[in-house]
Amino acid sequence: MTDKPNTSHLAHNTSKRVALITGITGQDGSYLAEFLLKKGYIVHGIKRRASLLNTDRIDHLYQDPHDITPNTSHLALHYGDMTDSMNLTRIIQEVQPDEIYNLAAMSHVAVSFETPEYVANADGTGTLRILEAVKLLGLTKKTRIYQASTSELFGKAQETPQSETTPFYPRSPYAVAKMYAYWITVNYREAYGMFACNGILFNHESPVRGETFVTRKITRAASKIALGLQDKLYLGNLDAKRDWGHAKDYVRMMWMILQTENAEDWVIATGETTAVRDFVKMAFEYVGITLRFEGKSVNEKGIIDSIDEKRYNQVIQNSTFNIQNCIGSTIVEVDERYFRPTEVDLLLGDPTKAETKLGWSREYKLEELVNDMMKSDLKLMTKEQYLKDGGYTIMNYFE
Ligand code: NAP
Ligand code: GDD
Over residues 171-221, the pLDDT tens digits come to 999 999 999 999 999 999 999 999 999 999 999 999 999 999 999 999 999
- Measured from the CA of 175, which atom of ligand 2 is nearest? 39
Looking at all shown ligands, the one closest to residue 153's CA atom is 2
Report how far residue 86's alpha carbon sits from residue 379's, in angstroms, rounded to the nearest whole number: 43
Given the DSSP bridges, would you call strands 233-235 and 330-334 parallel, antiparallel or unpaired?
parallel
Q: How many helices (H) and strands (E) does the chain have?
A: 12, 15
Looking at all shown ligands, the one closest to residue 155's CA atom is 2
Mean pLDDT of 128-156: 98
276 CB within 6 A, ligand 2: yes
- Measured from the CA of 236, which atom of ligand 2 is nearest? 9
In a 13 Å sphere around the CA of 344, the CA atoms on its Cβ side amount to 28
Please check the confidence at residue 141 and state whether its pLDDT lies above 90.
Answer: yes
Question: For the packed helices 276-286 and 366-389, what is the interaxial angle rounded to 10 degrees?
Answer: 60
Find the 214 Cα to ligand 2 centroid distance in Å: 6
289 CB within 6 A, ligand 2: no
Please check the confidence at residue 7 and state whether its pLDDT lies above 60.
Answer: no
Report how far residue 334's alpha carbon sits from residue 235's, in angstroms, rounded to the nearest whole number: 5
User: Going by C-beta distance under 8 Å and a sequence separation of 6 or more, which residues neighbour residue 105?
Assistant: 23, 82, 119, 122, 123, 126, 148, 174, 178
Q: Is 31 a catalytic residue?
A: no
* 326 DSSP 8-state letter: G
How are the residues of the chain apportioned to helix, strand and coil, as percentages rounded to the nearest 5? 45, 15, 40
> What residues does 46 pair with on adjacent strands?
22, 78
pLDDT for 9 equals 40
Measured by CA distance, the residue closest to atom 13 of ligand 2 is 237
29 CB within 6 A, ligand 1: yes
Please check the confidence at residue 6 and state whether its pLDDT lies above 50.
Answer: no
Kindly indicate the confidence band of residue 394, based on its pLDDT and cuts at 50, 70 and 90: confident
User: 314 to each of 233, 317, 324, 375, how far by Cα in Å?
Assistant: 23, 7, 15, 12
For residue 47, give the amino acid letter.
K
Catalytic hit among 22, 25, 127, 150: 150
> What residues does 200 pair with on adjacent strands?
149, 267
